[in-house]
Structure 1
Amino acid sequence: MRPDQLAELRIPSDPRVAPDGRVAFVVTEVDLAEDRYVRTIWLWDGHRARRLTRGPGDTAPRWSPDGRRLAFLRADDGVAQVAVLSLEGGEAETITDFALGVDELAWSPDGGRIAVVATTWTDEWDGLDAAERRRRPRRIDRLPYRADGRGWTHDRRRHLWVVYPDRTEDPLLVTPGDFDESQPAWSPDGSELAFVSARHATRGLDPGNQVWTVPAIGGEPTARVEVGIWSHPSYDPAGRLHVLGIPDPDRHPDVAPLWRLDDDGVPVCLTGHLDRSHVPFVPPIAPAGPRWLDDGAAFLTVEDRGTIGVLHLDADGEVTRIVDGPRVVTGIDPLPDGRGAAMVVTTPTRPGELWWWSPDGERRLTRLNDDVVAEALLVEPRPFTIEHDDGVVVDGWAYLPPGDDPVPILLNVHGGPATQYGYGFFDEFQVYVEAGYGVVATNPRGSSGYGSAWMRAVVGRWTEERPPDLVDLLAAVDAAADAFDRLDPERVGVMGGSYGGFATVRLLAADHRFRSAVAERGLYSWTSFAGTSDIGAWFDRAYLRMDPVEGWATRWAASPLAVAHRVETPTLVLHSEEDWRCPIEQAEQLFALFVKKGLETAFLRFPGEGHELSRGGSPRHRIERFEAILDWHARHLR
């Protein structure tokens, strides 16, 4: 696959099934001439899939309970509002006008109301024009005060509102106050809403939050569970509240099973025995809660050893895997009776397509990417394992170009670290294979998809000379070269973003076998990250287990910058200027050290981009990024 073929991909997401079996879903395409993405709502009507809305910023389709109307988010001017389209004819009508837009929406069970999460200015900043907002000094009294992908957050709040599709009543603010809310869910009788909000004294200093309920007409919210790390509240048909998450806010990272919240406030774990998580956080995979059926059963996605499959959880708590195999399900929504479900499925050689699942089998409903699949060079991964002397076994995959000639090794390190590589479509690997590299990927200790102990194996270990993840990554190069004769162990490059950038510099300092490196959007100094990142107030304590006020020696000892003087490999440093997850000061420090050391290096800065450049940055920037990476590796590995 060539970098420019990004513009040929059509990526489906967020499938939603109407009561009669029709499926609404989002398709994202690239408009390279305008350097933008075009997102439209499509409809599969039982016979064919067709574009339903014009875009360019239509997302989040949600059926009314009777299936006659479709609500969605429309962002014509970059600010999303709720639009409602009658499937019986006519144009979509925009029904909201919030200053900073709407992020989420959910129909009430009777179809007469829609709960939304809308962002509005705080009193101090409301009514100011754009010039005055740019000029005014910012008085900040809390952490965090900005977020990656969103920018400043101290001057606005995300609140829960109820709006009316027929616009007969004004929008109702359900949750006023100095807090933010998200993820609304209606009770079956429509009398209350559940939502997620951090309102505890140490909010912002830890990843904790709570699930709350509030009368749908407004009132005092009630906390339904103690502070933990919770997401995706939902009600089963009997009105019992469920949530995904981790009950201990100091337990990040960990698997996030499904819990039932009984009236006594004590959560009951329903899927903890699986030792797997239901909330993958890698775009375009949308973290999804349970999809409830009329009989009290539910469909749930599950991460497992490089795959994402689907589970059926019956009303008695029995779990059956109904979708598995070497693939990744990025979204699923069933009929209320469970006799069918729409899902978006991706494999290493097939960008996402819409599929229909039933107890009798599966069938593909769309062929959005047939042309690019036919034209591009797309190769299947070849699995291998890394077997350590202590019995630890690590999964790995090699992507090899066609032919028999020796090829350079390009070790890729994923972000997170609590994410996973595996059996989904990943344009990065296919681009590097097209360029003639043997791509090696692995899920070292610290990754998700392998259970709690695996995910937490790196916690408190990064001050060590060779922590478990570093051992696994170095061993992956050797194991891949042993398994596949074409991989040339004398020509090895390494690259990674976020945690992958962090790991890349640590690998370069620990082992000088690498001839080329790209360190991207990485965390290089825990010392400054603690004060500049949007998660810096708690992420260091989660992984380093140090005192948040006095733990500076531990922060520095775990920093790649502390050992970067040992690096001898030519290294391209790549970063986005509006990255608030790993702010660009991280890359500035690393690049400055490399220049002072006399290392062959370059610094590529992307204006206007955030942490998600490689996945969601502007199309031109994504292509230019690929070209820069390929040029760097070609100069040192070819």
Structure 2
Amino acid sequence: MNHISNSGDFMGKGLSEKDLGKFKLVGNVDVFKGKAVFQVTEISLKDDDYFSKLYLYDGKRVKPFTSGNKDSNPRFSPNGKLIAFTSKRDKEGKESELYVIPTDGGEARLLAKFKYGIKNLRFTEDGKSIAVVTPIDVEKKGNDDVHIIREIPFWFNGVGWIYGKRNVVYLVDVESGKKKRLTPKNLNVDQIRFHNGRLYFTAQEDRERKPLISDLYVLENRKVRKLTPGKWRILDFLPLDDGSFVLKANTLERGIPTNAHIYHYDPKTGELKKLTKDLDRNAYNSLNSDVRGSQRAELVYKEGWIYYVATDGPRANLFRVNLDGKIERVIGGDRSVESFDIGDYIAFTAQDAVTPTELYIYRDGKEKKVTDFNKWIKGYTLSKPEHFKVKASDGVEIDAWVMKPVNFRKGKKYPAILEIHGGPKTAYGYAFMHEFHVLTSKGFVVIFSNPRGSDGYGEEFADIRGHYGERDYQDLMEVVDEALRRFDFIDGERLGVTGGSYGGFMTNWIVGHTNRFKAAVTQRSISNWISFFGTTDIGYYFAPDQIGKDPWSNLEGYWEKSPLKYAPNVETPLLIIHSTEDYRCWLPEALQLFISLKYLGKRVELAIFPGENHDLSRSGKPKHRVKRLELIAGWMEKWLKG
């Protein structure tokens, strides 16, 4: 593959916005002994849709396995003879369908349909049934189109209306397709596992008053019993033979910035032991990518080791820890491990900054790449990110990168765009960002970094609660200062800035506090913490955690941290991109910023994407994703080149 070198001229063809339609997204791998089944998703610009099917690796070669165009989420049966998966093959219906297919080949057989989709599935230990997590209505609703709402949250980004619904577990018979509900309607179920004939699951009991708390339960003799004390957020778990459990949990000591760790928990004694205390890293892949496959990365227990993915600085690697707390890095490197499972070998999907996701096999200390779905990209010139360290003014080191333009010429100066990630507790690093490659192909330098608030550097680094727009803002400005000092090809008079979600908040904050940028694009952003608290799906608990208290007891603090307060200071031409169904940062965040800036006579435009949500850049309609990239690039070209 061709890359821009760190010095000298380099010519070639870069990626365009419409090249989005060429990516194949590999993920959701499941392993039985020497076989691996996984999902491949195609992005169709022609049909403005996503199509997925299953592939099987038999230990020697990879072959297409299912014929549907919406097949996903595969699971092997305990004896490996069947594979269960979800689909939407009924073109007229909107329901999600549960299928099984023989591993040796044959026709897929429809077992059951579920009105509101399938969130999770897993075979029972004897393989005779499949447990399915699916939403149901827990209260009767009228036949008209009026929404009578009695609870919060009442909607959720990417899902829609969730009031009066809870996720429950149904058991589906593999032969007959007959289904019966196992869990009560008052619990909102997430993860499920079977062990020694019992169903264990995690669930929220009170998502209105305790939205961050999820507990571990067991279903035994048709009765549900809670096993954890109602103080933690349990993300995944493994039952052990002695009646204890391995938990991937967030104990919330620092609120939302707290890292998820791997714990050993004994419900008999109530003792919780942190197994990963020697590695202050989040047991989760927090790296940003806009072309990734489905990320099934559940805990796996094998031969005394618990395997898990964690974000370590700008990389996401596969680690393992034993019950004594010994930690080892299993799959390392400057890359992002996306999904994995273990049988006779470790099968995993991974990507890096210049290589989209593919499937790899790791056996006996040796790694093998077994798919090449994205070999088309070898015909393009890609700018390889160049890493540099920035020593912030308080002495803390910040990871940062620059990407030179495609067709870079030594001695020439180029406009540069500062990209800011969302979260704030996510990270940039060694994962593929199509957006960055589009911008470098159009002659821009891209600068990106992991300022305070980012994941991968420990809880203290990530914890900016109550201090948005302070140290994080300083870090970003010092990254730009250092980039200008180090790289003489950056034109300091032609700087742009963009970001989404928290990155959109920070873009808004930046243009209200400095005029050094000549163009800005804010996306799915927060402009007013007061309105954010009362209109969004997570606002009523996220804002108090991040800003402090609530608007009644901290109105001054909420307004002080709102970019809208500083609208009179804005001189930078600003493009606002937002979506009508973004419930994470609802549309009023964009509307009030746009109207205020227009009222104040500022240079501003607003682009509203109908039917899209907070994940427009990652999973929106393909044509809308292309249009978004065209708008960003066009705005930067107008103000930085025009």
Q: TM-score, normalized by length of structure 2?
A: 0.93
- What is the letter of the counterpart of residue 448 of structure 2? A
Report the Cα offset of residue 498 of structure 1. 0.3
Q: Distance in 2 between matches of 1:82 and 1:615?
A: 26
Q: Is 2:266 the counterpart of 1:262?
A: yes
Report the CA distance shift for 1:438/1:217 in structure 2 as closer, same or farther (over 3 A).
Answer: farther
- For residues 438-471 of structure 1, give each alpha carbon's deviation from its aligned partner in whole angstroms, at most 9, with x where no partner exists: 0000000000000110011x11113xxx511000
Q: Distance in 1 between matches of 2:238 and 2:100?
A: 23
Q: Distance in 2 between matches of 1:506 and 1:421?
A: 20
Q: Distance in 1 between matches of 2:601 and 2:132?
A: 54
Structure 1 counterpart of 2:37: 24
Residue 539 of structure 2 aligns to a residue in which SS? coil
Structure 2 counterpart of 1:560: 563
Residue 174 of structure 2 aligns to a residue in which SS? coil
> Of residues 361, 364, 368 in structure 1, which corresponds to 2:366?
361
Q: Distance in 1 between matches of 2:115 and 2:358?
A: 35
Q: Distance in 1 between matches of 2:273 and 2:592?
A: 47
Structure 2 counterpart of 1:520: 523
Q: Is 2:55 the counterpart of 1:37?
A: no
> Of residues 58, 63, 70 in structure 2, which corresponds to 1:57?
70
- For residues 45-91 of structure 1, give each alpha carbon's deviation from its aligned partner in whole angstroms, at most 9, with x where no partner exists: 22221221123221111111111110111123453222111123321
Q: Do the aligned partners of 2:530 and 2:559 also contact (CA within 8 Å) in 1?
A: yes
> Of residues 288, 295, 309 in structure 2, which corresponds to 1:301?
309
Q: Is 2:20 the counterpart of 1:6?
A: yes
Q: Distance in 1 between matches of 2:620 and 2:253?
A: 31
Q: Do the aligned partners of 1:207 and 1:249 also contact (CA within 8 Å) in 2?
A: no
Residue 143 of structure 1 aligns to a residue in which SS? coil
Alignment of structure 1 residues 59-74 onto 2, 5 Å: 59-74=72-87
- What is the letter of the counterpart of residue 9 of structure 1? F
Residue 212 of structure 2 aligns to a residue in which SS? coil
Residue 592 of structure 2 aligns to a residue in which SS? helix
Q: Distance in 2 between matches of 1:536 and 1:249?
A: 20
Q: Distance in 2 between matches of 1:238 and 1:63?
A: 26
Report the Cα offset of residue 122 of structure 1. 2.9
Structure 2 counterpart of 1:460: 466
> Of residues 169, 186, 190 in structure 2, which corresponds to 1:160?
169
> Of residues 186, 190, 194 in structure 2, which corresponds to 1:182?
190
Report the Cα offset of residue 102 of structure 1. 1.4
Report the Cα offset of residue 377 of structure 1. 2.7
Structure 1 counterpart of 2:113: 97
Report the Cα offset of residue 3 of structure 1. 0.6
- For residues 339-376 of structure 1, give each alpha carbon's deviation from its aligned partner in whole angstroms, at most 9, with x where no partner exists: 520011101111011011123311100011011x1223
Report the CA distance shift for 1:31/1:390 in structure 2 as closer, same or farther (over 3 A).
Answer: closer
Alignment of structure 1 residues 604-623 onto 2, 5 Å: 604-623=607-626
Q: Distance in 1 between matches of 2:185 and 2:466?
A: 37
Could you tell which deviates more after superposition, 324-333 or 87-96?
Answer: 87-96
Q: Do the aligned partners of 2:28 and 2:296 also contact (CA within 8 Å) in 1?
A: no
Alignment of structure 1 residues 136-175 onto 2, 5 Å: 137-167=146-176, 170-175=178-183
Structure 2 counterpart of 1:427: 434
- What is the letter of the counterpart of residue 41 of structure 2? T
Q: Do the aligned partners of 1:226 and 1:265 also contact (CA within 8 Å) in 2?
A: no
**Cα RMSD (Å):** 1.8
Structure 2 counterpart of 1:394: 398
Report the Cα offset of residue 224 of structure 1. 2.2
- What is the letter of the counterpart of residue 526 of structure 1? W
Q: Is 2:202 the counterpart of 1:199?
A: no
Report the Cα offset of residue 210 of structure 1. 2.8
Q: Distance in 1 between matches of 2:243 and 2:79?
A: 20
Residue 507 of structure 1 aligns to a residue in which SS? helix
Q: Is 2:318 the counterpart of 1:310?
A: yes
Report the Cα offset of residue 538 of structure 1. 0.4
Q: Do the aligned partners of 1:299 and 1:334 also contact (CA within 8 Å) in 2?
A: no
Report the Cα offset of residue 121 of structure 1. 2.2
Q: Distance in 1 between matches of 2:611 and 2:518?
A: 31
Report the Cα offset of residue 517 of structure 1. 0.4
Q: Do the aligned partners of 1:278 and 1:287 also contact (CA within 8 Å) in 2?
A: no
Residue 27 of structure 1 aligns to a residue in which SS? strand
Higher relative contact order, structure no. (Cα contacts within 8 Å, ≥ 6 residues apart) = 2
Q: Distance in 2 between matches of 1:217 and 1:72?
A: 28
- What is the letter of the counterpart of residue 531 of structure 2? S
> Of residues 309, 326, 329 in structure 2, which corresponds to 1:321?
329
Q: Distance in 2 between matches of 1:496 and 1:236?
A: 43
> Of residues 221, 224, 234 in structure 2, which corresponds to 1:220?
224
**Structure 1 regions of 5+ residues with no counterpart?**
none
Q: Is 2:278 the counterpart of 1:273?
A: yes
Residue 188 of structure 2 aligns to a residue in which SS? coil
- What is the letter of the counterpart of residue 80 of structure 1? S
> Of residues 440, 444, 449 in structure 1, which corresponds to 2:447?
440
Q: Distance in 1 between matches of 2:498 and 2:97?
A: 39
> Of residues 104, 120, 128 in structure 2, which corresponds to 1:88?
104
Aligned length: 616
Q: Do the aligned partners of 1:355 and 1:363 also contact (CA within 8 Å) in 2?
A: yes
Q: Distance in 2 between matches of 1:288 and 1:239?
A: 24
Report the CA distance shift for 1:446/1:287 in structure 2 as closer, same or farther (over 3 A).
Answer: farther
Q: Do the aligned partners of 1:208 and 1:227 also contact (CA within 8 Å) in 2?
A: no
Q: TM-score, normalized by length of structure 1?
A: 0.93
- What is the letter of the counterpart of residue 124 of structure 1? K
- For residues 95-121 of structure 1, give each alpha carbon's deviation from its aligned partner in whole angstroms, at most 9, with x where no partner exists: 122222211101122212211111122
Q: Do the aligned partners of 1:377 and 1:430 also contact (CA within 8 Å) in 2?
A: no
